[in-house]
């Protein structure tokens, strides 16, 4: 898979190719030296990166949410900013602000923390909804508008946000519009016994993050993203994605189903998963693999379903069982 542009003579440049599977494996291996025993979580983070999306990392304190975000940031040699979300954080701290210059008698824009390739939004639900909303335009349109002037963000651009469960003290629920802009949600979970023992041995003296060296840069990630967009999706698979999304809107267990944006993100994620597996085409397995992390956090249960202790993940599983899977001809 390659990309082509115009040469100095006006004709197309020779196509450049990138091995998404090999490059992704290198980044994943580097992250795996820090995020021990969580290969599926690391893979999902890479899928979201290559789908040009954003990742919500949700779990209880102390299981490595911020470590995952930092490991990806260190593995890719690009501009990284970390924002510690607190109740007194202002929207202008994120997007930037226009400051009046006494000498030139003009307003000068000072970029905020969001102007980077990878933005680590730590404990995003500790900031007020007003501050959280400062990320809406950034995440959807990859731009910032301040005082009527629009500023483009870098490419690639990815927000890796961590949050504690909503019942934790001192947190605010993420608005539905904010949650819908996250391509996927992942829960770290507790490590298994062997991984936890390895952590005790390995991290007693040195933080492994300090030893992690970059294995990719922004240019190589852009090439990988471009290659992912050329992964083929057959028409029956497109219809399959739409059928899953439509079925969520008809589910008696849900008062809010998946949005059209969810369908787009599911297809992009399936493309990225296929490319990381070394394929140039999407299979139904790719869509099914990504359905739960992409769809579950966007769904809202009905009161009856919540009382019955249904979960969005279980509802997505029921949808995958009910919707017919395309068969190869």
Is there a domain that residue 197 lies in?
yes
Q: Is the Cβ–Cβ distance between 216 and 150 less than 8 Å? A: no
Last residue of a domain, which of 203, 230, 257? 230
User: And the tokens for 304?
Assistant: 């009856």
Number of domain units in the chain: 2
Within this chain, do residues 255 and 156 fall inside the same structural domain, yes or no?
no
Is there a domain that residue 178 lies in?
yes
Is there a domain that residue 300 lies in?
yes
Q: What angle do CA 291, 72, 128 make, to 5 degrees?
A: 75
Is there a domain that residue 6 lies in?
no
Within this chain, do residues 189 and 159 fall inside the same structural domain, yes or no?
yes
pLDDT at 166: 61
Last residue of a domain, which of 209, 230, 251? 230
**CATH number of the domain within which 301 lies:** 1.10.8.80
Is there a domain that residue 164 lies in?
yes
pLDDT at 11: 42
Within this chain, do residues 184 and 249 fall inside the same structural domain, yes or no?
no
Within this chain, do residues 131 and 202 fall inside the same structural domain, yes or no?
yes
Within this chain, do residues 285 and 179 fall inside the same structural domain, yes or no?
no
pLDDT at 204: 65
Give residue 275's domain range.
232-329
pLDDT at 9: 40
Q: What is the pLDDT along the chain (329 residues), one digit of tens a residue?
A: 444 344 334 443 334 578 999 999 999 999 998 888 889 999 999 999 999 999 998 887 777 888 888 889 889 988 888 899 999 999 999 999 888 888 887 888 899 999 999 898 998 988 888 888 889 999 999 999 888 889 999 889 999 998 877 666 677 888 888 899 999 999 888 888 887 887 777 766 777 888 889 999 999 999 999 999 999 999 999 999 999 999 999 999 999 999 999 999 999 999 999 999 999 999 999 999 999 999 999 999 999 999 999 999 999 999 999 999 988 65
**CATH number of the domain within which 207 lies:** 3.40.50.300
């Amino acid at each position: 898979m390659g990309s082509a542009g115009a040469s100095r003579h006006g004709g197309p440049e020779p196509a450049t190719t990138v091995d998404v599977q090999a490059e992704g494996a290198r980044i994943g291996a580097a992250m795996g030296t820090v995020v021990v025993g969580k290969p599926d979580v690391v893979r999902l983070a890479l899928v979201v990166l290559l789908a040009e999306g954003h990742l919500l990392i949700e779990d209880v304190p102390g299981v490595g949410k911020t470590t995952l975000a930092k490991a990806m940031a260190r593995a890719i040699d690009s501009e990284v900013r970390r924002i510690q979300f607190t109740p007194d954080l202002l929207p202008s701290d994120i997007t930037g602000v226009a400051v009046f210059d006494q000498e030139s008698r003009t307003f000068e824009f000072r970029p905020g923390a969001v102007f980077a390739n990878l933005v680590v939004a730590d404990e995003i639900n500790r900031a007020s909804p007003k501050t959280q909303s400062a990320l809406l335009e950034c995440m959807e349109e990859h731009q910032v508008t301040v005082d009527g002037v629009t500023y483009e963000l870098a490419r690639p651009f990815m927000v890796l946000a961590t949050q504690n469960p909503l019942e934790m003290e001192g947190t605010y629920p993420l608005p539905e519009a904010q949650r819908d802009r996250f391509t996927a949600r992942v829960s770290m979970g507790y490590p298994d016994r062997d991984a936890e023992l390895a952590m005790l041995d390995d991290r007693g003296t040195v933080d492994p993050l300090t030893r992690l060296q970059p294995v990719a840069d922004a240019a190589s990630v852009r090439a990988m993203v471009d290659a992912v967009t050329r992964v083929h999706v057959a028409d029956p698979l497109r219809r399959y994605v739409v059928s899953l999304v439509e079925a969520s809107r008809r589910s008696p267990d849900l008062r809010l189903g998946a949005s059209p944006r969810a369908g787009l993100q599911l297809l992009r994620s399936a493309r990225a998963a296929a490319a990381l597996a070394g394929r140039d085409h999407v299979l139904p397995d790719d869509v099914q693999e990504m359905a739960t992390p992409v769809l579950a956090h966007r769904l809202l249960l009905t009161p009856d379903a919540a009382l019955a202790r249904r979960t969005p993940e279980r509802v997505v599983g029921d949808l995958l069982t009910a919707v017919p899977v395309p068969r190869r001809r």
